[in-house]
Amino acid sequence: MAAEQRAPAPLSRGECRGIIQPPMTPDAEPRPPEPPHPDLAAMLVCDQVIKDQATRKASLIGIFDKILAFKFPADHARLTVFVSVRDSEGDYRLRLEMVRIRDGMTIGRGEGQVSVADRFSPAEWVFELMGLRFDEPGPYEFRLWANDRHVGSKSFSVLKLEGGPPHV
């Protein structure tokens, strides 16, 4: 004798039946949750960042968005990229790429690991870059990635000055 199938009774307001869960395979182990994706609050290019040990405040010295050169290729001895993010907690693999906008070519890259303890406090990351070379003038961009997901970008220009350096 076949069992009679009935339609389920309608739910009353606020009632819930059962919990829907994805099926688990016998060998599946629970994975730790992914860290939240950082939300970019600021990305600035400057000469240097000085961090006060007592207050933990960062002072950005010489903020700029243009690099000037008399000839190309042009070497730039040093610059710093300051990043402030919100809503980050846990471990991140960071990657900072320097990209020439004209053709999308990555001309420099740096990677590192960071750990953020408190999701409700801003995190600040400082990238000190040395010995940069620009083959041509034009627009460039720094692109920041955390755990292989894009966080944000900061564009800047490399400009050719006409003439030459002043003679001393």
Q: Domain segments of the chain: what residues?
A: 39-160
Please provide the average confidence, as pLDDT, over all residues in the chain: 87
CB 90 within 8 A of CB 116: yes
**pLDDT for 113-155, tens place per residue?**
999 999 999 999 999 999 999 999 999 999 999 999 999 999 9
Which of the two residues, 112 and 165, has the higher pLDDT score? Answer: 112
Question: Considering only the top CATH level, what class is 39-160?
Answer: mainly beta
Confidence of residue 34 (pLDDT cuts 50, 70, 90): confident
